[in-house]
């Protein structure tokens, strides 16, 4: 009988601990992290926050549109949707080395942006991202990350979107 009471008490403790696990706020372990997509446009190595991206695609067919706006490559199909595709290289005023192969879809609006090469996904601590005004080349890159000896400006897709939508 005593063993049954002990098992019953232990089961009640486990239920309470289990339920508390959903009621208590989650424990924060370690420092805040930022996930970035490392890309290349010409010789420039850049990054884009993954939080600003809804999708990454390679080798999509882009159909030119007559009278398209500056920097617009045309339209492309993505999972049943047709989106405008813009060339990040042209929008940023960089020289074109090769045809863009990769496209990202912005999370904030149904617009795609092309670039030449996807290098890797990077996860860094939030305090590793720096803002150095003397290195800012245009209004699309205000922050920088240095990984493995490479200084990468971080493209703010929200600023790029604002530029193409106006």
Amino acid 18: pLDDT: 76
Residues 117 and 46: their CA atoms lie apart, in Å, by 10
Tens digits of pLDDT across the chain (166 residues):
677 777 788 888 778 777 776 766 655 565 688 999 999 988 889 999 999 999 999 999 999 999 888 889 999 999 889 999 999 988 888 877 678 899 999 999 999 999 999 999 999 888 888 886 555 456 788 898 988 888 899 999 999 999 888 7
Q: Is 165 helix (H, G, I), strand (E, B) or coil?
A: helix
CATH number of 33-165: 2.40.50.180
pLDDT of residue 136: 46
pLDDT score recorded for residue 1: 65
Query: What residues does each domain of the chain span?
Result: 33-165
Q: What is the dihedral of CA 8, 14, 17, 20, to 10 degrees?
A: -70
β 44-49/33-41 pair status: antiparallel
**Which candidate, 108, 113, 131, places its Cα nearest to that of 39?**
113
Q: What is the pLDDT of residue 46?
A: 93
Statement: the pTM of the whole predicted model exceeds 0.85: no
Q: CA–CA separation, 89 vs 38, rounded Å?
A: 15
DSSP letter string, the chain: -HHHHHHHHHHHHHHHHHHHHHHSPPPP-S--EEEEEEEEETTEEEEEEGGGEEEEEES---B--TTPPTTEEEEEEETTEEEEEEEHHHHTTPPP-S---EEEEESSSS-EEEESEEEEEEEEEGGG-B--GGG--STTEEEEEEETTEEEEEE-HHHHHHHHH-
- Would you state the pLDDT for residue 42? 82
């Amino acid at each position: 009988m005593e063993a049954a009471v002990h098992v019953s008490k232990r089961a009640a403790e486990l239920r309470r601990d289990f339920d508390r696990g959903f009621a208590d706020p989650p424990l924060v372990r370690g420092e805040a992290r930022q996930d970035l997509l490392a890309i290349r446009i010409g010789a420039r190595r850049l990054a884009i926050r993954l939080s600003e991206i809804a999708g990454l695609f390679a080798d999509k067919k882009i159909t030119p549109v007559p009278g398209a706006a500056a920097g617009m490559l045309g339209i492309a199909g993505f999972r049943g949707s047709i989106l405008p595709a813009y060339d990040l290289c042209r929008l940023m005023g960089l020289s074109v080395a090769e045809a863009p192969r990769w496209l990202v879809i912005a999370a904030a609006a149904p617009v795609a942006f092309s670039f030449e090469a996807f290098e890797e996904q990077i996860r860094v601590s939030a305090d590793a991202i720096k803002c150095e005004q003397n290195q800012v080349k245009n209004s699309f890159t205000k922050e920088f990350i240095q990984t493995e000896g490479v200084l990468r400006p971080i493209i703010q897709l929200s600023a790029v979107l604002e530029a193409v939508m106006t």
